[in-house]
Amino acid sequence: MNRELNTGVFKFILNELKPKGKLITPFNIIALITIMTAAWILFIRFTSGLGSVVDADQSRPWGLWINFNVITGVAFAGGAYVVTFMVYILGLEKYRPIVRATVLYALLAYIFYAGALLLDLGRPWKVVNPIIGNSFGISSVLFLVAWHFILYMGSLFIEFLPAIAEWATLKRQRKFFASLTLAVVIFGIALSTLHQSGLGALFLMAKPKIHPLWYSEFIPVLFFISSIPAGLSLVVVLESIGQRVFKENMSFLHTSSHRKIMFSLARICTISLFVYFTMVFLVFLHGKNLSYLNTPWGYWYLVEVIGFVLIPCTIFLYGYRRLNLQMVRIAASLTIIGIILNRLNISTIAYQWYSKSLHFPTWMEVVVTCAVIFVQLLVFRWIVRRMPVYKESPSWIKEDMENKSFKIKNESINLNTRREKWKVSAE
């Protein structure tokens, strides 16, 4: 029996490892070139030191990898805690089709972006120090952020385990993992609150170096609140792209509920962007920084806050009320740019703003950043083509899923025929 089992597992893995799509596509080629270049760049970085590759110096010690991949990229993984909150805590079944994809994306984002943090460390092999208890720097915000990243990765992984169990046909294990979901989701939401704001708290001690329009003691709160529209906007963009790219892998439920979910997310983004704008305005009033507005930095600040927070907020509202999916997608893209701007402003652009020199990331940094994103997307694609993320779960879990999917099927079919009615009874 055991030998049969082993060969069965072996055959299964071999089968799954075979590529499931065309190997020579433009995307694959660009990704491959980027990744190989990045590998060579990283070789230089590890043999000649950070300075040979990264545009960082003694006055601006953090380069693009930590400023973009970690501080900005992690904000976009915030979709996971919002969506799991809505599905598992509030029980809003309408979002269930996107839960798995969002959790998978966030899991990969944390693994690769927090992993990119390792690239930006001067001595990555010492990273075990704050973990094994050799030296817990408990007063450090980065210590907290690092630990939360690890714990949250574990939580996301456990949340995703039922999908892996379904793929590997492990029935009892799947039931066990599914029973852990609520606890792990709750833990994950508490962790997310803390590390999303923690990324902002990293800069609290850099008060003399960040421009007053961007620095305040409320940076952590703003980071946390902005992670909500950031994460959801990315979900909108990813789902929109995924509908086309992963068409063969999507269940009917997924494709038919797409529009409804997008519009509901648009509504949430409108509200959260408006709340975020209010908080930014409050902080601005509190800081008494009116005199800074009439300077070049002030104009740049207004561009970010009005152009990329207030305007996408109104476009989301417009798109939601007119049921215009294209508008929603535009608003999501603008929000994403706005959050990137905000994070980059605080971490590098408005950092040491009084030094006269302009700083740009080196092409090598950009290539490695892109390579990290490519690898993440490739792994995402590999998993989506094999595991029930967009696909339907296998039929043997029908006892659990029957009740839950029943209602959504009905609602999504209604949407296509009666749009007026849907608007009123949404949610």
Partner 1 sequence: MGVDRRNFLKALGVVGSTLTMGKTFGATPEKTKSDIEFDGILFDSTLCAGCQNCEVVCAEHYGFPLPEDVPEAGVVRETSEKRRVAINSFNTSGGEFFMRKACNHCNEPACASACLTKAMLKTDEGPVIWREEKCMGCRSCMIACPFDIPKFEFNSPNPKINKCRMCFELLIEGEKPVCVVNCPAEALLFGKRRELIEIAKARIYADPENYNHAIYGEHEVGGTGVIYLASVPFEELGLRNDLGTVAYPEYNKTFLYSVPAVLVLWPVFLLGLSSAAKERKLKSQIEEES
Partner 2 sequence: MESFSRVDIFDTKGIEYLFVIGYLLFLIIFWNVANKHERIIKQIKRVFSNLSAGILRIPQGLFYNRFHTWAHLEESGEARVGLDDFLQHITGEVRLSNLKIPGEMIKKGDLMTQIDKDGKHLKLFSPISGEILMTNQILNDSPEILNEDPYKKGWIYKIKPNNWKSETSSYFMAEEATKWSIKELERFKDFLTGGPMRKYSTEPSMVLLQDGGEIRDKILGDLPDEVWKDFQEEFLNFSK
Interface with partner 2 (CB under 8 A) = 136, 138-139, 183, 187
**From partner 1, partner 2, none, interface partner of 201 (C-beta below 5 to 8 A by class):** partner 1
* Angstrom distance (rounded) from CA 130 to CA 146: 9
Nearest to 107 by CA among 166, 73, 153, 161: 153
CB of 190 to partner 2, least distance (A): 9
* Angstrom distance (rounded) from CA 313 to CA 170: 44
140 scored as a contact of partner 1 (CB under 8 A): yes
Pick the piece of the chain touching partner 1 (CB under 8 A) from 34-42, 72-80, 161-169, 206-214.
206-214
Six-digit token string for 151: 């714990």
DSSP code string of 14-63: HHHHS--S-S--HHHHHHHHHHHHHHHHHHHHHHH-GGGTS--BTTB---
Six-digit token string for 394: 């296998």
Considering only CA atoms, give the Rg of the chain: 23
Tell me if 78 sits within 8 A of 114, measured CB to CB: no
**From partner 1, partner 2, none, interface partner of 268 (C-beta below 5 to 8 A by class):** none
State the binding string over 40-79 for partner 1 (x if CB under 8 A, else -). Answer: ------xxxxxxx-x-xxxx-xx-----------------
CB of 53 to partner 1, least distance (A): 10
121 scored as a contact of partner 1 (CB under 8 A): yes
- Burial degree of 120 (CB within 10 A; 0-12, 13-18, 19+): buried
C-alpha dist (Å) from residue 60 to 56, 146, 210, 340, 370: 6, 21, 11, 19, 22
CB of 187 to partner 2, least distance (A): 7
The contacts of residue 315 (CB under 8 Å, 6+ apart) are 327, 328, 330, 331, 334
| Residue from 74, 80, 201, 235 binding partner 1 (CB under 8 A) | 201
CB of 138 or CB of 424, closer to partner 2: 138
| Residue from 134, 291, 294, 410 binding partner 1 (CB under 8 A) | 134
How many residues at the interface with partner 1, by CB under 8 A?
A: 59
CB of 256 to partner 1, least distance (A): 22
Residue type, 231: G
132 scored as a contact of partner 1 (CB under 8 A): no
| Residue from 2, 14, 23, 122 binding partner 1 (CB under 8 A) | 122
Tell me if 379 sits within 8 A of 222, measured CB to CB: no
Helix (H, G, I), strand (E, B) or coil at 308: helix
Q: Which residue has the tokens 């060579």?
A: 40
**From partner 1, partner 2, none, interface partner of 36 (C-beta below 5 to 8 A by class):** none
CB atoms within 10 A of CB 94: 18
| Residue from 13, 17, 39, 127 binding partner 1 (CB under 8 A) | 127
| Residue from 27, 136, 252, 396 binding partner 1 (CB under 8 A) | 136
Side-chain half-sphere CA neighbours of 251 within 13 A: 19
123 scored as a contact of partner 1 (CB under 8 A): yes
* Angstrom distance (rounded) from CA 21 to CA 40: 27
CB of 183 or CB of 303, closer to partner 2: 183
Q: Which of residues 332-351 bind partner 1 (CB under 8 A)?
A: none
The contacts of residue 141 (CB under 8 Å, 6+ apart) are 198, 201, 202, 204
* Angstrom distance (rounded) from CA 85 to CA 267: 16
The contacts of residue 47 (CB under 8 Å, 6+ apart) are none
Six-digit token string for 52: 């040979």
208 scored as a contact of partner 1 (CB under 8 A): yes
**From partner 1, partner 2, none, interface partner of 48 (C-beta below 5 to 8 A by class):** partner 1
Pick the piece of the chain touching partner 1 (CB under 8 A) from 25-33, 130-138, 261-269, 286-294.
130-138
* Angstrom distance (rounded) from CA 156 to CA 110: 9
CB of 190 or CB of 337, closer to partner 2: 190
167 scored as a contact of partner 1 (CB under 8 A): no
CB of 136 or CB of 252, closer to partner 2: 136
124 scored as a contact of partner 1 (CB under 8 A): yes
CB of 59 or CB of 135, closer to partner 2: 135
| Residue from 144, 150, 271, 401 binding partner 1 (CB under 8 A) | 144
CB atoms within 10 A of CB 127: 12
139 scored as a contact of partner 1 (CB under 8 A): yes
CB of 138 to partner 2, least distance (A): 4
List contacts with partner 1 (CB under 8 A).
46-52, 54, 56-59, 61-62, 85, 88-91, 120-124, 126-127, 129-130, 134-137, 139-144, 146, 182, 186-187, 189-190, 193-194, 197-198, 201-209, 217, 220
